[in-house]
Copies of this chain bind each other. A is one copy, B any other.
């Protein structure tokens, strides 16, 4: 996996600028991602019933399976802004479309930041005036675009990789932003992916849905599903591969590669969870169903008691096992077996006297693996999360509306 992002695939250019929305930091807050030719598009959006204007607009604009540009701002979510917000999102798309010379319906819009404030569209208009004329494809711009979508993120999130489809090298690259409001069913999370693969939109959508399900929908920072979550992918076919067909080897390869890129970006989001000091992988095995395994893993991942224990490097198996017990899934205390790292710590309904030094060593690590074997079935699920630290409270108690 390489560290370059959304401008890695052929035929994609971009630009980013500080247009003035992030008044305090002066960091980039407006970006454009552009495909030189019309591309297949697929997207997945938040399931929150409270959803932002750009989500509503983009949901509409992906419907015909074709798009050519993504315009995104940070610092303002354009959420809970009513009809005025819808007009602003449409205006933002229209401004970008006009300047890039594409139909407004071929532009996706995304916003992230504070909720309930009207979007300063005039700043975005000025910003677009400046950058749409000089979209390009270089390492610096690739980085700038990744930075422009960040809010409380402490580092920009980029990655890319290639696959060979019928002798042609296909590239998939992406950027993401996360930090807070990260939960099942998408997060305050934006992720934009580009690929030069030739693939029809329906197939791209099914590959994306699978990739999101195995990546962004498996992470949780704080159990709070956001209003703006968007994962979108543009595929412009510039790799010259034979157009991917359903159920083909090429499709499976493409979907697997896309899945790997999505997992990489999703894990970056967890690593950069607000206040996070640990990356935690929770695998529940031997559950009655995949839904049960998922419920138990999420119940553990979202327990503030478990998260605080992880923060304190405390191997508090009691909190883990009891979180499994109230998950609402089949769970029998006397059958379950719990490991932290490679150390067996609970089995047959009883704690196991583990080597204290070895356990302390495991708990001090930056990456912790929790493995709970329920022994009541054959299904499994993995969730990625982080700990709950003083910094999480500081960030979220001091961030003011």
Write the nearest CB–CB distance from A315 to chain B, whole angstroms.
6
In the complex, A323→B334 CA distance in Å?
36
In the complex, A306→B225 CA distance in Å?
12
Write the nearest CB–CB distance from A106 to chain B, whole angstroms.
28
Please tell me if the beta carbons of A80 and B321 are within 8 angstroms of each other in the complex: yes
Protomer copies: 2
Please tell me if the beta carbons of B318 and A224 are within 8 angstroms of each other in the complex: no
Please tell me if the beta carbons of B396 and A393 are within 8 angstroms of each other in the complex: no
Give the dominant DSSP class at A's interface: loop
**Size of A's binding interface in residues, CB under 8 A:** 68
26 contacts between A and B (CB under 8 A): A50-B325, A51-B333, A77-B318, A80-B318, A80-B333, A80-B349, A82-B348, A114-B318, A115-B319, A116-B317, A116-B351, A117-B351, A181-B322, A222-B303, A223-B303, A224-B319, A225-B325, A227-B325, A304-B388, A304-B396, A308-B395, A308-B396, A309-B397, A312-B396, A314-B399, A314-B401
Set of chain B residues within 8 Å of A217, measured between Cβ atoms: none
In the complex, A308→B350 CA distance in Å?
35
Set of chain B residues within 8 Å of A346, measured between Cβ atoms: 80, 116
Please tell me if the beta carbons of B396 and A50 are within 8 angstroms of each other in the complex: no
Set of chain B residues within 8 Å of A304, measured between Cβ atoms: 222-224, 304, 388, 392, 396
Complex: chain B residue closest to A227, CB-CB: B322
Please tell me if the beta carbons of A334 and B82 are within 8 angstroms of each other in the complex: yes
Given A314-B401, A390-B393, is A305 in contact with B50 using a C-beta cutoff of 8 Å?
no
In the complex, A114→B318 CA distance in Å?
8
In the complex, A332→B50 CA distance in Å?
7
Set of chain B residues within 8 Å of A316, measured between Cβ atoms: 399-401
Please tell me if the beta carbons of A324 and B50 are within 8 angstroms of each other in the complex: yes
Contact partner of A185 among B79, B326, B331, CB < 8 A? B326
Please tell me if the beta carbons of A393 and B389 are within 8 angstroms of each other in the complex: yes
Check if A250 is an interface residue, CB within 8 A of chain B: no
Write the nearest CB–CB distance from A366 to chain B, whole angstroms.
16
Please tell me if the beta carbons of B393 and A388 are within 8 angstroms of each other in the complex: yes
Check if A81 is an interface residue, CB within 8 A of chain B: yes
In the complex, A214→B226 CA distance in Å?
31
Please tell me if the beta carbons of B401 and A315 are within 8 angstroms of each other in the complex: yes
Given A318-B115, A349-B82, is A397 in contact with B324 using a C-beta cutoff of 8 Å?
no
